[in-house]
Amino acid sequence: MKAKTLIKIEKDIENHNLGKARERLHGLIQSYPDDLSLRKKLGDIYFRLQYPTMAGRYWYLEENKTPEMIQACQQFEKAMGNSPDEIVRALKFKGDSAIINNLSLKYSCLTIQSHVVEQIVTAPEETWKDKLVPIGCISTLLIIIACTCIGLYTIFNWVFS
């Protein structure tokens, strides 16, 4: 499946249909988050579409960066306010953190990138706040169901009494 999609992506690129290639690559990244070469391809497409900040987002985890890649990554960092937390959130890396740990990422803004890599590699601790949202959603849903049942029961009694 992946190989067929990659062939379609190459055909889309040859036909200058970069938007379609971009969408296909987004889907592949969701399906294969450990394959960093997909991120590089997507960065290449964004660069060709003249979105260097987005290109930098997808090139950020690339080991061997060209000067254009470095500049795009720096624009991405600037767009994220040079905040490692925001950068990690924007990268949306869902793959195995061991892959990132084994990368030797080198470029001029090493301090920010090292903090980003450190945050990706360390598993986030789940806090009580993380559990609060699902509990709140479930509670709200149960209240809505209960009110609906009470309302239907009241209408039924009013019509048939």
State residue 108's pLDDT score.
45
Distance of CA 161 to the CA centre of its chain: 57
| Integer Cα distance of 10 and 24 in angstroms | 11
Q: Out of 3.20.20, 1.25.40, 2.70.150, 3.30.310, which CATH number does the structure's domain 2-121 have?
A: 1.25.40
- Domain residues of the chain, as ranges? 2-121, 125-161
pLDDT in tens, 128-137: 666 788 888 8
Q: What pTM was computed for the model?
A: 0.67
H helices of the chain, in order, are: 2-14, 18-31, 36-48, 52-59, 67-79, 84-91, 97-102, 110-121, 128-160
pLDDT in tens, 95-138: 777 777 666 555 544 457 666 776 666 655 566 666 788 888 89
| Integer Cα distance of 149 and 141 in angstroms | 12
pLDDT in tens, 56-83: 989 888 888 889 988 998 899 889 888 8
The neighbour count for residue 62, using CB atoms within 10 Å, is 20
**For the packed helices 18-31 and 2-14, what is the interaxial angle rounded to 10 degrees?**
160
pLDDT in tens, 11-30: 988 998 998 999 999 999 88
H-helix or E-strand spanning residue 51:
none
